[in-house]
Amino acid sequence: MSAVTSARRRTSHRARALLVTAALASGAVLGAGVLAGSATAQTTYTFHTYDNASDPTFNQLLGINLDGVIAGYFGSGNQGKPNQGYLLYPPYAPGSYVSENVPGSVQTQVTGLNDFGVTVGFSSGQNNANNVNENDGFYRVRNHAFHTVRFPTKDNSTPPVNQLLGVNDNYLAVGFYTDAAGNAHGYKFNLRNNHYRAIKLPGKPTATTAAGINNHNDIAGFETVDGVTQAFLLRSGGHFRALKFPGATATNAFGVNDYDEVVGSYTVGSGTTAVTHGFTWTPQHGFSTVDDPNGAGTTTINGVDDFGELVGFYVDGAGNTDGMLAVPN
């Protein structure tokens, strides 16, 4: 896709988004248009590194929408290095980072966003040395108030953990909570009516995380079955597909676009010899490995838009975690 075509499509989508700024309040529902083809097994990328100058040693880019706005955060979360959320706007210059933090929180991660300016994520009032902190999910509609999201259950972990990880243009968000035994349970949350619905998968997974949702309401995530972590794609009609990268010890899916292009990471090996690679998967072409050339074996892909642009992070030779944008050639 040429830069001109991409820019025109982004401009058209931006105009459309402005028309629906009040969609949540009015209850209007708008369908998503088809903009571009999904990636193939032969797709190559140009890689870009983007780190917030507030902490260039630790950045993760977690979601991207059709306007090219990227959700992310800086700070490792170790004591004294709290997570701090932000949105990164084109043209991705040093002054293009805008803070996005829940008021009164100590830590915030912005994990996802839709095309109408809705952001989701989670926050904490703690930054403990053992990295065990309570978490609350949140959503925010285009620079307005933050809203707390907690799955209604009496079987919470200690401390309680709720995280929203993705949101679509139908104002449906997905995430998980952790039970008293430490197992994750995926759920959907409707921003329009504050309705929660548990996500049930076939078989008997001991843990489920819903990480991404597209505008067809198809959900990508990962589950633990018989002690093994595998990715999944759950279509809105109920069709379930397990996704296991060949030869991997674990496969995790974190995002999905409207073409059911699923992205995430897979692990080869275990313990100190384990390496992590990013991946894309499409129904037409299956799995492809995507590694940032500066972080082969340490790359994670967290989000994908309908242009096939990928966001994520990698660990560089100096041990820093760097935000990554990969643009299809």
CB 231 within 8 A of CB 221: yes
The answer on pLDDT for 24 being more than 90 is no
> How high is the pLDDT of residue 41?
54
3-state secondary structure of 291: coil
Six-digit token pair at 204?
């008997």
Q: Is the pLDDT confidence value at 34 over 60?
A: no
Residue 7 has pLDDT above 50, yes or no: no
Comparison of pLDDT for 5 and 201, the residue scoring more = 201
Instruction: Answer whether residue 212 shows pLDDT above 70.
Output: yes
**Is 80 exceeded by the pLDDT of residue 149?**
yes
Q: What CATH number is attached to the domain comprising 269?
A: 2.120.10.30
Q: Say if CB 142 and CB 117 are below 8 A apart.
A: yes
Please report the pLDDT score of residue 2 as a whole number: 36
pLDDT at res. 106: 98
3-state helix, strand, coil in the chain (%, to 5): 10, 45, 45
Q: For position 27, what pLDDT does the model report?
A: 37
Residue 1 has pLDDT above 90, yes or no: no
What pTM was estimated for this model as a whole? 0.89
User: What pLDDT was estimated at residue 33?
Assistant: 30
Contact 13, 36 (CB under 8 A): no
Q: What is the pLDDT of residues 73-102, one digit of tens each?
A: 999 999 999 999 999 999 999 999 999 999
Task: Report how far residue 241's alpha carbon sits from residue 201's, in angstroms, rounded to the nearest whole number.
Answer: 10
pLDDT at 284 > cutoff 90:
yes
How many residues are there in the chain?
Answer: 329
Residue 21 confidence class, pLDDT cut points 50, 70, 90: very low
Q: Residues 98-120: pLDDT tens digits?
A: 999 999 999 999 999 999 999 99
pLDDT computed for residue 42 by the predictor: 74
Please give the tally of structural domains in the chain.
1
Strand, coil or helix: 102 = coil
The overall average pLDDT reported for the chain is: 90
pLDDT confidence band for 39 (50 / 70 / 90): low
CA-derived radius of gyration, the chain:
18
List all residues 6 or more positions away from 200 whose beta carbon is below 8 Å from its beta carbon.
none
Average of per-residue pLDDT across 325-329: 97
pLDDT (0 to 100) of residue 179:
98
- Nearest 5 degrees, angle CA 86-CA 9-CA 26? 65
CB burial of 233-269 (b: ≥16 within 10 Å; e: otherwise) equals bbeeeeeeeebebeebebbbbbbbbbbbbbbbbbbee
Rounded CA gap, 278 and 288, in Å?
9
Find how far residue 132's CA is from the centre of its chain.
Answer: 21
Whether 48 and 61 have beta carbons less than 8 Å apart is answered as no
Residue 283 is part of which domain span? Answer: 3-24+33-328
Per-residue pLDDT tens digits for 156-175: 999 999 999 999 999 999 99
DSSP 161: B
pLDDT tens readout for residues 237-279? 999 999 999 999 999 999 999 999 999 999 999 999 999 999 9
